Amino acid sequence: MIDMEISSEQRQIVDSVQNLLADALPYDRFVPRPTPVPNADRAVFTQFGELGVFGLGLAEASGGVGYSLVEEVLVARECGRFLVSPAVVATMIGVHVAHFAGDRSHAEAMMRGGTPVAPALAFAPAATHFAGKYHLADAEGAEWALLWSEGGLALAHRDSWHGAQNMDSIDSTLTLTRVAVKDIMPPLRVPAANGLWRRAQLLVSAYLTGLAEAALDDSVGYAKVREQFQQPIGAFQAVKHRCADMLTRASVAWNSTIFAALTDQAEGPDADFQAIAAKILASDAAFRNAAVNIQNHGAYGFTGEHHAHLFVKRAHFLDRFGGDATYQKRRMLAANAPSSDAERSSPVDGLAG
């Protein structure tokens, strides 16, 4: 039996992050203005640092808070609900990369929130190296970029970025910079065998799950107040069924993500497989829930004045962070699949463990 309910202490962590995000980063920050405004999400990163968000999963002996991957996953999920800049996930991962690479000073700087890490999307996934072309999100003011390849994870200092060009982003709430990385100096790298890539994968999956859940909440909230024919549209069977399907997809994504986190914590033999499956399911839930949310809002959902379209655009970005669904399915074929033995004992005991 697996207890997947969160503990009271974990609930306090989630509530503190949720309260901060609801107060500092509400959806109305996305409302179009007469002139473009820069993404201000990183202004909240120092508050994240004060809360201990960026050092949540690092041992106290290493300067962190001393919690586990599970708590980090819970926080990443909340960030997805509020469409926080993907730099928040990249910074959470970057702390671990710097730590395992032996650079404690940079890890501590990232934990304080004053040194955000830009997530990098590779033009083509590299097998064992990190050189290549990338798109960096919200890189202005960032000192590091998080690079991802089949060989592991790496932090590339901005001195390693060459030929930077500002690009138009499909997600207007994110800045996009095209760069070429030829060499990484200093070499802050963590090989894939370390298993840190699974933690990174699961934080991205948790963000996507939170996005899928937020799209569901957005639809349900609208269906309760929008009326047609003198009754809420939520009373119509078509809308009910769409919302029910959204709930199912979000639930599957969350259960898969948290089970994969628990399996990773327990060092289960199928930990790679579970992490890949979680990313695939979370991406699917985010894409489809975001699209249905626009449909549920009708014509209003297609306008730039509403934030529904941003769920779709952010889902596209996060899907490619660490490799899109096609790439993940190819990796799944090579992963160690779960045992089919019905009597196999569960490797996990629950969230509160």
Per-residue pLDDT tens over the stretch 23-65: 999 988 887 765 556 678 988 999 999 999 999 999 999 999 9
Residue extents of the structural domains in the chain = 8-194, 196-334
> DSSP characters for 62-100?
GTS----HHHHHHHHHHHHHTT--THHHHHHHHHHHHHH
> DSSP characters for 109-145?
HHHTTSS-EEEEEESS--SS---EEEEEES-TT-SEE
Which architecture does CATH list for 196-334? Up-down Bundle (1.20)
Question: What global pTM score does this model have?
Answer: 0.93
pLDDT of residue 350: 57
pLDDT of residue 290: 97
Mean pLDDT of the chain: 88
pLDDT at position 251 over 90 = yes
pLDDT at position 11 over 50 = yes
- Sheet containing 117-122: give its strands across: 161-167, 176-181, 132-137, 117-122, 144-149, 152-157, 188-191
pLDDT at position 352 over 70 = no
CA torsion through residues 11, 14, 20, 21, sign: negative
- In this predicted structure, which of 151-160, 179-188, 306-315, 339-348 has the lowest mean pLDDT? 339-348
Q: Which CATH superfamily includes the segment(s) 8-194?
A: Acyl-CoA dehydrogenase/oxidase, N-terminal domain (1.10.540.10)
